[in-house]
C-alpha cells in the first residue's frame, strides 16, 4: 500500500518537487536502429553529456513517433512508499533496486544513488541527482530500447560481442568473468568491431541466428585497463601506480568501473549491429587456477547448467506489449535459450584465465570459417 500518495499525478508532483514537466526545455532526438527517442531535460548539461555519450548514433533534428524520455535534475526524492526489493541475480548481494507498482505504473528507486524512475506506457521519467549518476540515465534510455526489441522477440543474453567481416563472436559468463576484457582484446586487432558489452540480443531470422547490441559503452574495472595497452591511458598516472600495487586477486575483485569510449580509443568506424552469430564462448574459467586455458566445443543440451551464464532477466524496467511489468520472481526459460542456441557453435572455456590464448583461438576459428 502507498501512504499519502493517492494517484499518479500526486506521485509525479512529489517526484519533481512540484517542478512542471514543461521545465524540461532542453531536448534532442536519438536514433537507435529503427527507433527514435526524444530526450528532454531541465538541464542543458545533461543533454550535452548524453549527446556526447551517444555521439556514434544518429541524432536527427526531428522525427515522428518518438518515444519520449524526460530527465529532471533535482535533489533525491523522498517518497513515503512501502518499497519492495527487486530480487538480485545469483552471486550478487546488497540492496540495489526497489520498486512499487500502481495504476499500470512502476516506480523504481535506486537505493545507492537516490535516483527515482517512473515508467508507464505514456511516461518515462527519471528524477534525482542525474548529473552525478549519468550511467543510470544511459541505462534508463537503453532499457526503453530493450523493451522495444524484446517486443519483437529478441532474446536477452548476459554476453559481450564483437564483429569481424560480417560475422559475430559472443562471450557469456558470470559477472567479473572477463567477457568485456576478451571482447576489448579482440577490438585491438584490425577488422574487429564493437557490438555490445554485457547485454546481447539474439533472434533466429531465416534460419540464421542474428546478434544485436545496445548503445552502451564498455564499463570495465582497472585490471582490464592495466593489461590492455590501448586502454591503460584511460587511467591517470596516480591511478596506475595505485592499482599496480594490488595483487592479481585484489585487482580481479575490485569493483571500480570506467567507461571505454570506443570512438576515441579505436575509431568511429568500430561499431556494428545485427550480425550473424558464428560462435558463443561460455567463460567458465577461473583466475585462481594455475592451469592451461582449455576451449572445448559443447552441446548446450548436454550442459544445461551452463545456461545460467548466458540467460539474463529483462529486469525491473521491462514492460511487455500489453503494458504489464515483469514480475519480481520471473526467471528466464532455459528451454527457450536451448532452442535458440541449438544451431550455432558453442564453446566452454575452462582452466586458468589467459586472454591471449582465447584471443588466438578466436582469430584461428574465424580464419577457418572463410
Residues 15 and 8: their CA atoms lie apart, in Å, by: 11
CB 351 within 8 A of CB 285: yes
pLDDT tens digit string along 9-59? 677 777 776 555 667 889 999 999 999 999 999 999 999 999 999 999 999
For position 1, what pLDDT does the model report?
A: 42
* pLDDT tens-digit readout, 212-243: 999 999 999 998 999 888 899 999 999 999 99
Q: Which helix (H) or strand (E) holds 237?
A: helix 237-244
Find where cell 568511429 sits: 268
Residue 15: DSSP 8-state? H
Mean pLDDT value of segment 59-72: 93
Residue 87: pLDDT band by 50, 70, 90 thresholds? confident
Q: Tell me the three cell numbers of residue 357.
A: 590464448
User: What percentage of the chain reaches a pLDDT higher than 90?
Assistant: 72
**Cell of residue 109, nine digits:** 528507486
Q: How is residue 60 written as a grid cell? A: 536527427
Query: Please, which residues bridge with residue 72 across strands?
Result: 127
170-194, pLDDT tens digit by residue? Answer: 999 987 789 999 999 999 999 999 9
Whole-number Å distance between alpha carbons of 145 and 149: 7
Q: How many CB atoms lie within 10 A of CB 63?
A: 15
Average pLDDT, the chain: 90
Q: Residue 70 has what pLDDT?
A: 94
Amino acid at each position: 500500500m502507498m501512504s499519502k500518495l493517492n494517484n499518479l499525478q500526486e506521485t509525479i508532483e512529489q517526484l519533481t518537487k512540484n517542478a512542471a514537466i514543461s521545465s524540461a526545455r532542453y531536448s534532442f532526438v536519438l536514433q537507435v536502429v529503427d527507433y527514435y527517442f526524444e530526450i528532454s531535460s531541465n538541464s542543458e548539461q545533461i543533454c550535452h553529456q548524453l549527446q556526447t555519450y551517444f555521439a556514434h548514433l544518429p541524432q536527427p533534428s526531428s522525427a515522428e513517433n518518438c518515444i519520449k524520455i524526460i530527465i529532471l535534475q533535482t535533489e533525491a526524492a523522498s517518497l513515503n512508499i512501502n518499497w519492495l526489493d527487486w530480487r538480485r541475480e545469483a552471486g550478487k548481494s546488497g540492496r540495489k533496486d526497489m520498486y512499487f507498482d500502481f495504476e499500470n505504473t512502476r516506480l523504481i528507486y535506486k537505493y545507492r544513488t537516490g535516483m527515482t524512475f517512473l515508467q508507464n506506457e505514456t511516461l518515462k521519467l527519471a528524477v534525482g541527482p542525474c548529473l552525478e549518476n549519468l550511467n543510470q540515465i544511459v541505462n534508463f534510455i537503453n532499457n526503453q530500447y530493450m523493451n522495444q526489441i524484446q517486443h519483437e522477440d529478441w532474446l536477452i543474453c548476459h554476453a559481450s560481442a564483437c564483429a569481424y567481416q560480417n560475422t559475430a563472436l559472443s562471450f557469456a559468463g558470470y559477472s567479473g568473468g572477463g567477457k568485456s576484457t576478451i571482447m576489448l582484446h579482440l577490438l585491438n586487432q584490425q577488422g574487429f568491431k564493437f557490438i555490445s558489452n554485457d547485454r546481447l540480443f539474439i533472434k533466429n531470422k531465416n534460419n540464421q541466428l542474428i546478434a544485436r547490441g545496445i548503445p552502451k559503452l564498455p564499463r570495465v574495472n582497472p585490471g582490464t585497463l592495466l593489461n590492455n595497452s590501448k586502454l591503460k591511458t584511460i587511467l591517470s598516472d596516480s591511478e596506475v601506480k595505485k592499482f599496480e600495487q594490488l595483487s592479481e586477486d585484489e585487482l580481479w575483485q575490485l569493483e571500480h568501473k570506467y567507461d571505454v569510449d570506443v570512438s576515441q580509443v579505436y575509431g568511429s568506424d568500430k561499431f556494428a549491429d545485427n550480425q550473424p552469430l558464428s560462435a558463443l564462448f561460455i567463460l567458465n574459467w577461473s583466475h585462481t587456477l594455475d592451469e592451461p586455458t582449455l576451449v572445448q566445443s559443447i552441446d548446450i543440451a548436454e550442459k544445461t547448467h551452463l545456461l545460467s551464464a548466458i540467460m539474463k532477466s529483462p529486469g525491473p524496467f521491462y514492460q511487455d506489449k500489453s503494458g504489464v511489468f515483469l514480475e519480481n520472481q520471473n526467471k528466464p526459460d532455459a528451454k527457450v535459450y536451448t532452442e535458440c542456441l541449438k544451431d550455432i557453435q558453442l564453446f566452454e572455456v575452462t582452466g586458468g584465465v589467459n586472454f591471449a590464448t582465447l584471443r588466438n583461438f578466436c582469430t584461428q576459428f574465424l580464419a577457418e570459417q572463410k
